[in-house]
Amino acid sequence: MLTGLHLNHKSMLHRTGPLILVFGTALLLIIAFFIPHKPFGDLEARFLNWYAIISGFTFLLGLDSLARHHLIKIARREKGWFYSLLLVTSLFGTLFLGLYSWVRYASPFALNAPFMWLYKFMIIPLQATMFATLAFFIFSAAYRAFRVRNLAATLLLIAACLVMLGNVPIGSSIWGGISWLIHQIFPNTNLEILKRWELFAAAKDWLMAIPQAAAGRGIGIGLALGGIAMSLRIILGIERTYLSS
C-alpha cells in the first residue's frame, strides 16, 4: 500500500507535474501575447531571462560532457587520442587566456589582449575556412541535383541556369550577344529594345516571384499549421516525447 502510494506520488511528480507546468506556462504566455498590462506584459521577457539563466548553467553540463569524453579517450589511448589531447589543450588554453585577459586587461576582448589575438588569428580564420568549403560542397551537390535524369530534373536544371544567369553580370553580357545575333538575323528588330529586355533577369525575377514564392508559401503555411498542431499537442499533454514518455 505504502509502496503503491509512493509510486503514485513519484508518477505524479515526474509525469503530471511537468504537464501541469507546461500547460500553465503556455496559457500564461498566450494571455501575455494579448494583454500588455502588468503582470502579463513583461512575462515573455521574464521567461526568456529565466531560460537564459538556466541555459547558462547547462553549459557547465556541456563542458563536463565534452571534457570527460575526450579525457577518457586520452586516458585509454583510444584511436585518435592525439586529436582529443589537442581539443582538451585548446579548450583549457582558451579558457585560461580568456581569464588571464579578463584579469590583466579588464575584458577578454580588449584589443591587445592575448584572448583577442587567439580569436582574431585562429578562431575567425578557422570559421572562415569552414564556410569557404561550402562553395565546393555546393558545386558537388549541384552537379548531382542538376543531372538530367527525368523531366523534373531537366526543368530544375533550366530554372537553375536561368536564375544563375539572371543574378550574375555575365548573364547580361550573354543576352547582349544574343540580342545582337537576333538583330543580325532579323534586321527589322530594334537592337536597343532587345538589349533592354534582359531575358535572363526577367526570367529570374518571374521564377523567384511566382513559382518559387508560391511553393515557398505553400510550405510555409503547412509549417505554421504543423507548428500550431504540435504546440497544441504539447500544451494539452498529448505529445510527451520531451518528457521521455
Candidate segments 66-74, 98-106, 111-119, 180-188, binder of another protein by CB under 8 A: 66-74
Question: Which secondary-structure segment (H or E) carries 197?
Answer: helix 191-197
Helices 151-167 and 124-145: crossing angle, nearest 10°? 130
Binding to another protein by CB under 8 A, coded x per residue (else -) over 111-140, reads ---------------xx--xx-xx--xx-x
Residue 33 C-beta: closest distance to another protein, Å? 7
Residue 125 or 189 having the CB closest to another protein: 125
Among 17, 93, 125, 222, binds another protein (CB under 8 A): 222
Residue 168 or 230 having the CB closest to another protein: 230
- As a whole number of Å, the CA-based R_g of the chain is 30
Distance from chain centroid for Cα 157: 26
Distance from chain centroid for Cα 100: 33
The set of cell numbers assigned to 165 is 544567369
Reduced to 3 states, what is the DSSP secondary structure of residue 123? helix
Residues 67/91, Cβ–Cβ less than 8 Å = yes
Per CB under 8 A, residues contacting another protein are: 30, 33-38, 41-42, 51, 54-55, 58-63, 65-66, 68-69, 72, 79-80, 83, 126-127, 130-131, 133-134, 137-138, 140-142, 144-145, 216, 218-223, 225-234, 236, 238-239, 241-242, 244-245
